[in-house]
Amino acid sequence: MPQTELSFTEENYLKAIYHLSVGGTQAVSTNAISDRLQTKPASASDMVKRLARKKLLQYEKYQGANISPEGIKLALKVIRKHRLWEVFLVEKLNFNWDEVHEIAEQLEHIRSPLLIRRLDEFLGFPKHDPHGDPIPDENGSVSTRPRKPLSDLHDGESGDFLAVKDTSSSFLQYLDKLDIQLGANIRVMEKVEFDDSMKICLNDKKELYISAQVASNLYVSKN
């Protein structure tokens, strides 16, 4: 029996815990959770207990939380909705990629399986959101494209710009200013030993310099 529906807050915590889990191998600390959600550790502690009671994660005092398969399933449902709505906002309502996150944070909690199916169809079953992140399918499968930070490339190597790591408005707007768009081919012309900044070439046309920090926040395809 699936328990009663999660509240918006529970969904937000679960999603945060999911995001903190992927990649990392150890349990997620309550501090990390409260940090991410802009709440206090005490609140995260309470919530983790609640989610554990609902079997969405394992939790032992002082040992952090481990999201369960059931928890992952629910988190991916919310993430699927978030990303589909982001596509809608950009593709259909002409929002810029730096404007959609806040609104999607709200829309991701709308409950209607049929709505999401129809939205998916309306959008042409997109595989990635405006930031290049994969959209989980109805069953919670996430397609992973092999990728690595641009900063890992060496002189002469190139890759396609697949996704951003940092999705902050300021970073996305800076990329706009530099005319660096998702899908562009990026070739490393020169990597500066001293500070890891690089000269890159976009689509074999436009050359520009970017800092190591920028480079580390751009994911490119592994060719």
- Which residues contribute to the site for a copy of itself (CB under 8 A)? 89, 92-95, 99, 102-103, 106-107, 110-112, 114-115, 118-119, 122
| E strand segments, the chain | 57-59, 65-67, 147-149, 158-164, 185-191, 198-202, 206-210, 218-221
**Segments in 113-197 forming alpha helices (H):** 113-122, 169-178
Contacting Mn ion (CB under 5 A), which of 15, 54, 80, 131? 131
Sign of CA dihedral 101, 107, 112, 118: negative
For residues 15 and 6, the answer to whether their CB atoms sit within 8 Å is: no
Nearer to DNA, 44 or 79 (CB): 44
Choose the contact partner of 93 out of Mn ion, DNA, a copy of itself, none; CB within 5 to 8 A by kind: a copy of itself
Contacting DNA (CB under 7 A), which of 20, 57, 64, 153? 64
User: Which bin fits 10, alpha (ψ -120 to 50), beta or left (φ > 0)?
Assistant: alpha
Contacting DNA (CB under 7 A), which of 62, 69, 102, 124? 62
Residue 41 in the binding site for DNA (CB under 7 A): yes
Nearer to Mn ion, 4 or 170 (CB): 170
* Residues lying near Mn ion in the complex (CB under 5 A): 86, 101, 129, 131
